[in-house]
Amino acid sequence: TMFFKKIKLDESIEKALEKKEQKLIKKLLKKEIISLIRVTYNTTIIESFSVFQLKLKQDEKTKIYQNKINEINTKLKQSVFEEKFKSFSESALSKISAAIAPQISGYDAIKKAVALQLVSKQPIHLLLIGDPGTGKTDIARSASELAPISAYGLGSGTSSAGLVVTVKGNEVIPGLLPMANDGLCVIDELNLMRKEDYAGLYNAMEKGFVTYDKGGKHFKFDARVKILATANPIHDEFKSASIEAIKKQMPFESALLSRFHFIFIIKKPSVKRFMEITEHVIEKKTKSITAADKFFISEYIKWIQANMPQEPSFTEANKRRIVDFVKHLKLNEKQFVTKITPRFVVGLVRLCGASALVESRKEVTKDDVERVKNLVNKCLKIQS
């Protein structure tokens, strides 16, 4: 161990730690109580990178250092990740949306809306209604894997017990909605949910909590969630592309539909579109997403939510742009499947905010408004 006598720490370590901590590391390295290892993250969405970590020799005497070593390791990791986050933020939206169900080609507007939903610090509720086999479940499942906090359940399997609470004997355990508190709750096949289970869902979407009564006891759980739900139309498949026909096949009453900020209608692809998808599959144009990519995105979302304001600010000019856009939509409402309601407008404002947040900006720009107008125009049309 002669060569340890003069220890020079890597620049990245010096940058992340205080002098006191650097001294401690040098001392422990000399005594061979710790070793330095590199943890590599094999990411594809950014160049793969590595982080220095300290590994403590496990014995009774070294235990006293464990907490301090953990603390230093966290600092070392955060320091490198923050650098990466800053450069990632410039192209974050396109990279996060490309990581959502990458095996499915197209649906860019839906994937972008879901990416913004993931980053938003305020609830944005999205509903994907479409023919079976259009990939809506893949999109929803993929989103739940990227969200730092998420719960995933099937409409059919979420009886009120499972959605609000799960009862085991005398024990009342928080269900799907409270489990996703401050995160994303994905409900697949919402059309199979029992009508009496809706009350719990409404409460979570509007009030941010759920309640349950059992044997004279009253339970209340926080459920500040963002809902991403999928559903099939009545008779399983849209028979026609006309707005009137589609409205008739909506599997929900307006009470539920109106609680979603945005509803995407997805039809089976046309022959031309099907051939594009086939080519996409054959040419293997899909980039596979590594576990490190998912971890990185999840950490990025956490970082944004910890460091960014609840609501980014709007200039008067950008508020005006939103008002004009809403007015234009309201005048053309008859051409859309969904109504332009005050809740829709709230969703619009939140999407604009998320568009700024995703790139770690505190103010909404004209580009954010234009980007969201684009997305929303697509959301109001039928996707295939």
- pLDDT tens column, 192-210: 888 777 889 999 999 999 9
Same domain, 104 and 152: yes
Percent share of the chain, pLDDT over 70: 93
pLDDT at 198: 87
Does any domain span residue 292?
no
pLDDT at 1 over 50: no
Per DSSP, the three-state class of 130 is: strand
Buried b (16+ CB within 10 A) or exposed e, 319-332: eebbeebbeebeee
pLDDT at 264: 92
How confident is the model over 338-380, as pLDDT tens digits?
889 899 999 999 999 999 999 999 999 999 999 999 999 888 8
Task: Characterize the bridge pairing of strands 226-231 and 34-41.
Answer: unpaired
pLDDT at 159: 54
Does any domain span residue 125?
yes
Block residue for tokens 């960014």: 308
∠ Cα 168 172 178 (to 5°): 120
Does any domain span residue 161?
yes
Average pLDDT over residues 81-105: 94
pLDDT at 2 over 60: no
Block residue for tokens 């060569």: 3
Among 226, 138, 216, 141, CA closest to 177 = 226
Separation of alpha carbons 336 and 121, rounded Å = 28
Per DSSP, the three-state class of 197 is: helix
Per DSSP, the three-state class of 23 is: helix
Most confident option among 54-58, 207-211, 268-272: 207-211
Per DSSP, the three-state class of 55 is: strand
Average pLDDT over residues 78-102: 95
Same domain, 365 and 222: yes
Does any domain span residue 279?
no
Same domain, 80 and 119: no
Does any domain span residue 278?
no
pLDDT at 5: 53
pLDDT at 286: 57
pLDDT at 150: 96
Separation of alpha carbons 31 and 242, rounded Å = 76
Q: Which residues pair with 36 in a beta bridge?
A: 54
Average pLDDT over residues 277-295: 77
Alpha carbon 176 to its chain's center: 16
Look up the CATH number of the domain holding residue 124. 3.40.50.300
∠ Cα 23 26 27 (to 5°): 85
pLDDT at 338: 83
Does any domain span residue 276?
no
Average pLDDT over residues 165-189: 91
Same domain, 74 and 109: no
- Give Cβ neighbours of residue 177 (< 8 Å, ≥ 6 apart): 151, 163, 164, 185, 200, 201, 204, 210, 221, 223, 225
Between 30 and 8, whose confidence is greater?
30
φ/ψ (deg, to 5) at 193: -75, 145
pLDDT at 253: 84
Same domain, 105 and 19: no
Separation of alpha carbons 32 and 43, rounded Å = 32
Between 252 and 317, whose confidence is greater?
317
Does any domain span residue 273?
no
Residue 100 CA: distances (Å) to CA of 267, 297, 325, 345: 19, 11, 28, 25
Question: Could you list the residue range(s) of the whole structural domain that residue 315 is in?
Answer: 99-268+308-383
Single out the residue in 89, 124, 155 at which a domain terminates.
Answer: 89
Reported as a pLDDT band with limits 50, 70 and 90, residue 8 is confident
Single out the residue in 53, 71, 89 at which a domain terminates.
Answer: 89
Single out the residue in 68, 89, 110 at which a domain terminates.
Answer: 89
With beta carbons less than 8 A apart as the criterion, state whether 192 and 155 touch: yes
CB atoms within 10 A of CB 10: 12
Question: Which range has the worst mean pLDDT, 61-70, 201-210, 242-251?
Answer: 242-251
Question: Which range has the worst mean pLDDT, 157-166, 186-195, 210-219?
Answer: 157-166
Same domain, 19 and 165: no
Same domain, 246 and 313: yes
| Helix, strand and coil in the chain, % to nearest 5 | 50, 15, 30
Same domain, 146 and 198: yes
Separation of alpha carbons 173 and 41, rounded Å = 36
**DSSP assignment of 172-196:** EEE-HHHHTTTSEEEEE-GGGS-GG
Does any domain span residue 19?
yes
Residue 170, judged by CB atoms within 10 A of its CB (0-12, 13-18, 19+), counts as exposed
pLDDT at 285: 59
Average pLDDT over residues 248-252: 85
Separation of alpha carbons 27 and 381, rounded Å = 65
Give the count of domains, the chain: 2
Same domain, 107 and 44: no
Same domain, 124 and 244: yes
| pTM of the shown model | 0.90
Same domain, 114 and 57: no
Same domain, 73 and 201: no
With beta carbons less than 8 A apart as the criterion, state whether 384 and 333 touch: no
